[in-house]
Amino acid sequence: MNTQETINYNRIAEAIDYIKANFKDQPNLDEVAEKVHLSPYHFQRLFSEWAGTSPKKFLQYTSIEHAKKLLKEHQATVSETAFETGLSGTSRLHDLFVNIEGMTPAEYKNGGKNLKINYSFAESPFGNIIVASTSKGVCFMAFAEDELTGFLALKDKFPNASFTQKLDLAQQNALFIFQNDWSKLSEIKLHLKGTDFQLKVWEALLKIPMGQLSTYGSIAHQIQKPNASRAVGTAIGNNPVAFLIPCHRVIQSSGTFGGYMWGNTRKTAIIGWEGAHINL
């Protein structure tokens, strides 16, 4: 890292610390830019390059993480949460949750109470998996050593949803991929919840052809955030749908396969399996 890059890194780190410490005051772009001695325009561009999101979005993510903790861990009311998060009213909190979490504050507090999820277990070439779906599509898929572990992982994502152990069409279409039936890919529907940045990263992963690999840096460039490799790695680590969203196809620029939520051995096996089948 050269001298200018070090200066830029330190400025953005200072800005992030400032936003985290003062989010209840909801500082605007000009205020934060002044703290790091940059013009608002230059600061906006630099922050987006290094953090993978805009200062405004970062403030929103920081605010909503605090709000989620108040709602879930402290059982605060919606109005109390809005006040304690520094928002002007419940309508702003409502808009923030809908835009980022895809649900209202009350729905979040209820942990997906009105959400109906079907789930089933299946065998794959890489071990047992659990796949779950809503009426909109597959919302969760993970490798699981046993059924209880898999179900608890699903329930942790949607703690108050109602669950039915049932194999439906959305799950069947998803599972065909393990039988080399690539003709079903267009029929796989996903029901995903994530930040704009996460969704962009996951969309980029879907574009990596089977049998090919990419790097965290390449994904960052693809979504036009060239300095956000670390943020890309975090988003990949939050992938809720194993295999279908192929986070296993992303490796380090050194050629090292790197980490994998479901184990490095499994990642190596999947990459080898895909490479072999693409050449058949």
The catalytic site residues sit at 247
Residue (of 76, 81, 78) closest to 24 by Cα position: 81
Tokens encoding 61: 């993510």
Q: How far apart are the first and last CA of the chain?
A: 44
Output the DSSP codes for 86-135.
T-SSHHHHHHHHHHHHSS-HHHHHTTSTT-EEEEEEEEETTEEEEEEE-S
**269: enclosing H helix or E strand:** helix 264-278
Please list the residues that pair with 163 across neighbouring strands.
117
Strand bridging mode 250-251 / 214-215:
parallel
Residue (of 66, 100, 107) closest to 83 by Cα position: 66
Residue (of 170, 139, 174) closest to 153 by Cα position: 139
> How many C-alpha atoms does 233 have within 13 Å on its Cβ side?
14
Q: Are 56 and 29 in contact (CB under 8 A)?
A: yes
As a whole number of angstroms, the distance between CA 137 and CA 188 comes to 8
